């Protein structure tokens, strides 16, 4: 086994939980990015089950898993906060919240596994972190219930609709009818996306399952919009908006 006993339990459990959650969400939303992350976590867990503690493969795998945990935790914590503030549907609060708690627990396990090289970790420590993650999930869900969910922003009659699915915009050409433009954007993917228009100073960030409206005024012309998340624009998330 790669990591000390207590930390290995936490890392493997968290990694497996994140892999399963990502796979479920990826399949349900037909989201290739989420499925890719599920595969990465599953491979990482599989490698840790085989490598020897202290070896180069062990350390490398642990570091990579730590980076993956940190990446998921950051985006899912911020997604949960944003969706709670905007009163999104329950599903789109539960999904990022569950992934945030599992990833945070895994990140703690990786940090412990890298620091504790003398095998001093026990099952009790891993259990405490797991209990804390579950308690955090319950407390945050309770706070979301108090705030209220299912009251997300709705599309107005004159809004220009744009949907994001499978790391792609539903259209790459938008035609406005006046200088005042209102976009209603829905993100159906697990991870964050943006609608960014540099020339107009427009920056709309969208976490999983979010519905956001933004209104701006633009002179006549054609403007480029794109997703600012690294790699997404290069993958094709770019289009134009024409203002008469």
Q: Mind listing the pLDDT tens digit for each residue in 63-99?
A: 999 999 999 999 999 999 999 999 999 999 999 999 9
Distance of CA 41 to the CA centre of its chain: 14
**pLDDT at site 113:** 82
**pLDDT at site 36:** 95
What does the domain layout of the chain look like in residue ranges?
5-147, 160-243
- The partner residues of 180 in beta bridges, in order of sequence, read 217
pLDDT digits (tens, 9 = 90+) for 91-117: 999 999 999 999 999 999 999 888 876
pLDDT digits (tens, 9 = 90+) for 165-188: 999 999 999 999 999 999 999 999
The model's pTM is 0.87
101, 129 Cβ separation under 8 angstroms: no
Average pLDDT (226-231) is: 95
Structure tokens at 2: 């790669």
- The partner residues of 205 in beta bridges, in order of sequence, read 194
Using a pLDDT cut of 90, give the percent of the chain over it. Answer: 76
Query: Which pLDDT band, with edges at 50, 70 and 90, does 1 fall under?
Result: very low
d(CA 147, CA 83): 11
152: nearest Cα among 187, 182, 199, 177: 187
pLDDT digits (tens, 9 = 90+) for 24-51: 999 988 899 999 999 999 999 999 888 8
CATH number of 160-243: 2.60.40.420
Structure tokens at 93: 């609060």
**pLDDT at site 23:** 96
Task: Tell whether the model's pLDDT for residue 134 goes beyond 50.
Answer: yes
């Amino acid at each position: 086994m790669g990591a000390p006993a207590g930390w290995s339990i936490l890392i493997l459990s968290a990694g497996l939980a994140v892999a399963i959650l990502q796979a479920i969400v990826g399949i349900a939303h037909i989201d290739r990015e989420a499925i890719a992350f599920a595969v990465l976590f599953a491979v990482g867990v599989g490698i840790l089950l085989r490598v020897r503690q202290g070896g180069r493969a062990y350390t490398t795998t642990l570091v990579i898993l730590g980076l993956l945990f940190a990446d998921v935790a950051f985006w899912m914590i911020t997604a949960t906060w944003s969706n709670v503030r905007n009163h999104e549907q329950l599903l789109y609060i539960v999904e990022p919240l569950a992934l945030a708690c599992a990833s945070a627990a895994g990140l703690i396990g990786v940090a412990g596994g890298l620091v504790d090289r003398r095998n001093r970790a026990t099952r009790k420590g891993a259990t405490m972190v797991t209990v804390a993650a579950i308690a955090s999930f319950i407390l945050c869900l309770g706070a979301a219930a108090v705030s209220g969910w299912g009251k997300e922003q709705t599309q107005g009659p004159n809004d220009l609709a744009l949907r994001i699915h499978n790391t792609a915009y539903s259209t790459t050409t938008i035609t406005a009818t006046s200088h005042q433009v209102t976009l209603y954007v829905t993100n159906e993917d697990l991870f964050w996306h943006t609608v960014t228009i540099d020339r107009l100073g427009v920056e709309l960030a969208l976490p999983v399952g979010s519905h956001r409206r933004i209104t701006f005024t633009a002179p006549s012309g054609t403007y480029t919009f794109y997703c600012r998340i690294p790699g997404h624009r290069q993958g094709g998330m770019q289009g134009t908006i024409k203002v008469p």
